[in-house]
Structure 1
Amino acid sequence: MPHEREQWATRAGFILAAIGSAIGLGNIWRFPYVAYEHGGGAFLLPYLIALLTAGIPLLILEYTIGRRSRRSPPYAYRALARPAETIGWWQVAICFVIATYYAVIIAWAVRYTGFSFGQDWQPDPEAFLIQDFLQRADEPGMVSSYVAGVAWPLIAVWAVTLGVLALGIRRGIERANKIFIPLLALLFGILVVQALTLEGASLGLDAFFTPDWDAITRGSVWVAAYGQIFFSLSVGFGIMITYASYLGRRADLTGSAMVAGFANSSFEILAGIGVFAALGFMATAAGVGVGDVLGEGGIGLAFIAFPQIISSMPAAGSLFGVLFFGALVIAGVSSLISIVQVVISAVQDRTGWPRVPSVLVVGGAIALASILLFPTTEGLYILDAADHFVNQYGIAMAALVAVIVIAWVLRRLPTLRDHANETSAVRLDRWWLITLGLITPLVLGWMMVDSVREELAARYEGYPLGFLLIAGWGVAAGVLVVGVVLAALPSRRVERLTSVVESEGRR
């Protein structure tokens, strides 16, 4: 018999966990930069349309698949059709890879929370990050030496993450997010209020919100809006299917998806206000434009631009740094927990192992890979290449394949719509079928074509081809191969579970 499936204690617990998964590092450093680069205030219109026509419909789809089967992604897809199990294992492999490098960025944020007290990165934050802290090698390559200052906080991050996961859905993940999400909102709320009081904050807000209406006519802006929604809502790699599999039979799916989707987007806009208010202060102090101090969205914005801002503050700079990097840690850990839970849930379904052994074996394997690869002098290069390729040709590609298979090959959207409508406050109608059957595949397909065109035009970041074939293309192809192999492996337990999953899927 399959192990007894846990359930969330409350609907609020599930929603907070879903919000905790969606609100991660990318919300804080990626959205403000993407919005600024693609029309400022005018970007918010395509962004909102993308949320309504792709983000929330995809959330509802994944919630429905997970709740309907009450299994992890491989067996949730298997309930739709046996060959579709490959998609689920593909997503599990993606989560394994992402978790290994996502944890190390959280470890950086842990150290930078401490660095904020003495502003240790002065006088050159970029040199401090690259040379002093990460001790980055001169060129990409495989592991040669370890960096102790990155390794020990990474071990601590994994200890906390696996500890929460070992406690289970109710006592671990649900309770943790009931602490993490209100604390994250409090910390970031204080940070935004403080940023708005800085001299020059209005200059930053003008840069962030001033609309470039001509941008709306550019296709690249719409692709960027949809891309931000896909990557920020934790859709496409099995997290929401996994979380929804622990829901009760009467859970409201559409209402929960709308709450989680709008909460995520609200936090992104709040992050944009806080980040650009701070950038406006720095630009005013330096006598330059906001674009001149922005740099790049991502690691550069978080670990180079923000330390510069903190060092420029006449007072309370250290507090600002603690709030900012503390918020990164909390947002990161809540997302990391959800990513690792996908892998643990799939292994539990396949093997029947209890939770604690599953966490120790599976979570321990992910942690070990993370600790061996990333707190190294070459770790930043490996992280950059793996993140780029697994996002572009892992998450986005898996989402595209899943939508096409469900909507066009299996034609299961009407069945899933009816299942969601049985218990949902907001009923799904023709609009849901159109968005998932037409709009989402077209946008994701265009993103794939555009991305491949850019890859063929020039090697990513000018990295050596051999390095990219291993750490980039190799990783993207590897997760797909692992998915195919795991789906093909025979298992007596899988056969016993199949009858249960398929009977659940017919309900």
Structure 2
Amino acid sequence: MKEKGSSFTGSLGFVLAAAGSAVGVGNIWRFPYLCAKDGGGLFLLVYLILVATFGFVLLTTDIAIGRKTKQNALKAFGTIQRKWKFLGYLTFLVPTLIMTYYSVIGGWIVKYFCVYLASDGKEAVGDGYFTSFISSKVSPIVFMLVFLALTAWIVYRGVEKGIEKYSKIIMPGLILLIVGIAIFGLTLSHQDADGTVRTGMQGLSIYLKPDFTGLTVKRFLEILLDAMSQLFFSLSVSMGIMVTYGSYVKDEVHLNQSINQIELFDTGVAFLAGMLIIPSVFVFLGKEGMAAGPSLIFISLPKVFEAMGGVGRIIAIAFFLMMGFAALTSAVSVMETLVANCMELFHKTRKQMCLMIGVYSLVTAVLICLGYNVLYFEFPLPNGSTAQLLDVMDYISNSFLMPFISLLTSILIGWVVGPKWITSEVERNGETFKREGLYSFMIRYVVPVVMLILFLVSTGFANLFF
């Protein structure tokens, strides 16, 4: 039951809210560490190609489905084809899983922001500080609660008074912070005890220049899966979020123009985030520091801030404030999707469903927090790595479910109802869809094949062939 009049006021509100969903922890936390792990420039090249092709196709599909059906993801696919109603329930699983851990990561960011706000942050520099914090039984839960409460409040306020209003404030501030810190990072230099000098521009070269040395088919598929899972996470596609946001878009809004702006906004922020983090980490910690993985911003960056001297604390406060903004906008979009879907499913008011989803998010987030202490375990993943509770949820949602959902969606749109079903919606207001040919070819022939390959890689079946 969608509330009457629940919609964005116009194109700008929609673009900023959708960009707010897309621009989040995925861009500023996930993108840089994956880029560093997968060879810098090579990962960046693969990612940019995927955004211009797969990202454009999947984003267009989700938003157009939402606006044309005027339904959230739970009912939209059944509206297109009755037999495909199950696909709506599959998409519902993704934000359900993501919400279990997103507020936990948000709590980590709040913790670090508070540390630098209250002190010089030297306590955060020790290698064991982050591990000690996340493995404690109380502190992570307290900071998670702060982040979750703020998220729930914005969603409770609704589309116009909550999501759109706060996106218009947060997104411009986020961009200014990213650009400012990124430019500052490129001016940095550091000399080791042995006389070795590293500069921000050298780090930028590592970030931008692809290195194909020793590249194998299996390694390329691993990079491709990382880049595609990042695309899913970053653009919020194949998880019902953009379908739900699309259902709020008024008919007079030019979809193609808005989609291009969202795509450019999201990719630009991811690119700047990589330029912000990777050169700075390289300057003070070398290539070894870039290999920190998911803990890159929580372990490596505090060392960078300390090495900056007095200005480091100010940069740290600005950085974690920026991270908080980004995490909040994405968490709001995930919770909004769950609330909107459950309002339809259970025929309850927004207030009632915010309370129910809030309780669900709280209980599951507490379990994720405990996954680093009393519920700790190591689970083997198909890619050969081991994971604990948060990583398992992330792997199932981003590397397993999203390629599978994209595969099924491409079959539905490309072969069951036909690409014209989408392109006609994009052209509704007489807008020229310049990439219509690319869209039709990709959704029918390229997306299904690549998604099938990625699904096989994520499940481990590809190891039989490569």
Q: What TM-score does the superposition give when structure 2 sets the normalisation length?
A: 0.87
CA contact (8 A) 2:453 2:462 kept: no
Q: Measured at CA, do residues 36 and 374 of structure 1 come closer, stay the same or move farther in structure 2, by a change above 3 Å?
A: closer
Task: Give 1:249's aligned residue.
Answer: 251
CA contact (8 A) 1:104 1:375 kept: no
The structural deviation recorded for 1:169 is 0.3
Q: Measured at CA, do residues 309 and 3 of structure 1 come closer, stay the same or move farther in structure 2, by a change above 3 Å?
A: closer
Which whole-Å CA distance do the structure 1 matches of 2:71 and 2:279 have between them? 44
Q: Measured at CA, do residues 424 and 172 of structure 1 come closer, stay the same or move farther in structure 2, by a change above 3 Å?
A: farther
CA contact (8 A) 1:59 1:240 kept: yes
Counting only pairs closer than 5 Å after superposition, residues 103-122 of structure 1 correspond to structure 2 as 103-117=103-117, 118-120=119-121, 122=123
**Residue deviations 1:452-476 (CA, integer Å, cap 9, x gap):** 227989xxxxxxxxxxxxxxxxxxx
Task: Give 1:438's aligned residue.
Answer: 445
**Residue deviations 1:113-145 (CA, integer Å, cap 9, x gap):** 1222435564853311112x1226xxxxxxxxx
| Match status 1:230 vs 2:220 | no
Q: Alignment partner for residue 289 of structure 2, among 287, 293, 308?
A: 293
CA contact (8 A) 1:46 1:216 kept: no
Counting only pairs closer than 5 Å after superposition, residues 381-392 of structure 1 correspond to structure 2 as 381-392=388-399
**SS of residue matched to 1:274:** helix
Task: Give 2:127's aligned residue.
Answer: 126
User: Amino acid of the residue matched to residue 202 of structure 2?
Assistant: L
Task: Give 1:29's aligned residue.
Answer: 29
**Residue deviations 1:314-334 (CA, integer Å, cap 9, x gap):** 221111211222211111110
User: Amino acid of the residue matched to residue 126 of structure 2?
Assistant: P
CA contact (8 A) 1:348 1:355 kept: yes
Task: Give 1:207's aligned residue.
Answer: 206
Task: Give 2:166's aligned residue.
Answer: 176
RMSD of aligned alpha carbons: 2.4
CA contact (8 A) 2:68 2:425 kept: yes
| Match status 1:406 vs 2:408 | no
CA contact (8 A) 2:37 2:291 kept: no
The structural deviation recorded for 1:222 is 4.5
Q: Measured at CA, do residues 35 and 129 of structure 1 come closer, stay the same or move farther in structure 2, by a change above 3 Å?
A: closer
Which whole-Å CA distance do the structure 2 matches of 1:198 and 1:171 have between them? 42
| Match status 1:312 vs 2:313 | no
Which whole-Å CA distance do the structure 1 matches of 2:315 and 2:17 have between them? 27
**SS of residue matched to 1:341:** helix
User: Amino acid of the residue matched to residue 129 of structure 1?
Assistant: F
User: Amino acid of the residue matched to residue 186 of structure 2?
Assistant: L
**Residue deviations 1:244-289 (CA, integer Å, cap 9, x gap):** 1001112211111111011111111111111122113213xxxxxx
Task: Give 1:20's aligned residue.
Answer: 20
**Residue deviations 1:435-468 (CA, integer Å, cap 9, x gap):** 11121222211111122227989xxxxxxxxxxx
Task: Give 1:355's aligned residue.
Answer: 350
**SS of residue matched to 1:48:** helix
Q: Measured at CA, do residues 373 and 297 of structure 1 come closer, stay the same or move farther in structure 2, by a change above 3 Å?
A: closer
Which whole-Å CA distance do the structure 1 matches of 2:411 and 2:100 have between them? 29
> What percentage of residue pairs aligned between the two structures are identical?
26
User: Amino acid of the residue matched to residue 236 of structure 1?
Assistant: S
**SS of residue matched to 1:383:** helix
Q: Measured at CA, do residues 2 and 36 of structure 1 come closer, stay the same or move farther in structure 2, by a change above 3 Å?
A: closer
Q: Measured at CA, do residues 39 and 135 of structure 1 come closer, stay the same or move farther in structure 2, by a change above 3 Å?
A: closer
Higher mean alpha-carbon deviation, 371-380 vs 192-201, is at: 371-380
Q: Measured at CA, do residues 404 and 9 of structure 1 come closer, stay the same or move farther in structure 2, by a change above 3 Å?
A: same
Q: Measured at CA, do residues 382 and 47 of structure 1 come closer, stay the same or move farther in structure 2, by a change above 3 Å?
A: closer
User: Amino acid of the residue matched to residue 63 of structure 1?
Assistant: I
**SS of residue matched to 2:127:** helix
Task: Give 1:240's aligned residue.
Answer: 242
Which whole-Å CA distance do the structure 2 matches of 1:334 and 1:324 have between them? 16
The structural deviation recorded for 1:36 is 4.1
Q: Measured at CA, do residues 256 and 447 of structure 1 come closer, stay the same or move farther in structure 2, by a change above 3 Å?
A: same
User: Amino acid of the residue matched to residue 165 of structure 2?
Assistant: R
| Match status 1:156 vs 2:146 | yes
Aligned length: 438
Q: Alignment partner for residue 274 of structure 1, among 268, 273, 276?
A: 276
| Match status 1:415 vs 2:421 | yes
Q: What TM-score does the superposition give when structure 1 sets the normalisation length?
A: 0.80
Q: Measured at CA, do residues 440 and 195 of structure 1 come closer, stay the same or move farther in structure 2, by a change above 3 Å?
A: same
Q: Structure 2: where are the runs of 5+ without partners?
A: 190-198, 377-387
Q: Structure 1: where are the runs of 5+ without partners?
A: 137-146, 284-289, 458-507
User: Amino acid of the residue matched to residue 254 of structure 2?
Assistant: D
Q: Measured at CA, do residues 122 and 44 of structure 1 come closer, stay the same or move farther in structure 2, by a change above 3 Å?
A: same
Task: Give 2:380's aligned residue.
Answer: none
